[in-house]
Amino acid sequence: MRSNVLVKTLVSVTTAVGIAAGGLATAGTASAAPAPAEKAAVSAQSVAPLAVVNLGLSTAQAKKVQRWLKTYYGYNGAIDGHLGTDSWKAQQRFLRYYDYNGAIDGVVGSGTIQALQRLLRSGYGYNGAIDGIAGSGTQAAFKRFADSR
């Protein structure tokens, strides 16, 4: 009977020490002051402009596309090789010629990809399905498109 009490006591003490050690290990993050409420919430719209979707293009290839979009389709952002929201808005304006009828919002969704696939099928070697999925065939043809700029 006495050994059971001793075992229970040891287990309880070991558990308490473990909890205390764990509390000390995370005290730096656990006791950090919370962010002010007005700065904690971030809307999806404020994050969207930071999205970059190069679809397999290198920075140099993306810069070629951006220069072309600047010349012909109203792109006014930096020529930085990162196809972000503004690059895709200009691309969507161009893709109107390839039956893109979605919003000019810079979001690279399935409608944007389908229109891109129609463009790539017209002269850049894409022969896959018009399925709105930017797979390896779409990306390879998009690279040919970029290199032709």
**pLDDT value of residue 51:** 77
Higher pLDDT residue, 51 or 52? 52
**pLDDT value of residue 45:** 46
Residue 123 lies in a domain: yes
Render pLDDT for 1-45 as a digit per residue (tens, 0 to 9). Answer: 545 544 454 445 444 444 444 544 444 444 445 555 544 444 444
pTM of the model: 0.67
Of the candidates 86, 80, 5, the residue with the CA atom closest to the CA atom of residue 50: 86
Residue 50: φ, ψ to 5°: -85, -10
8 A C-beta contact, residue 124 and residue 148: yes
**pLDDT value of residue 29:** 47
Residue 132 lies in a domain: yes
Residue 24 lies in a domain: no
Query: Residue 54 pLDDT > 50, yes or no?
Result: yes
Render pLDDT for 103-141 as a digit per residue (tens, 0 to 9). Answer: 999 999 999 999 999 999 999 999 999 999 999 999 999
Residue 21 lies in a domain: no
Containing domain of residue 128, as a range?
Answer: 52-147
d(CA 66, CA 81): 7
C-alpha atoms less than 13 angstroms from C-alpha of 112 in its C-beta half-sphere:
20
Residue 7 lies in a domain: no
8 A C-beta contact, residue 83 and residue 62: yes
Residue 105 lies in a domain: yes
Residue 96 lies in a domain: yes
d(CA 46, CA 108): 16
Higher pLDDT residue, 146 or 37? 146
Residue 37 lies in a domain: no
Structural domains in the chain (count): 1
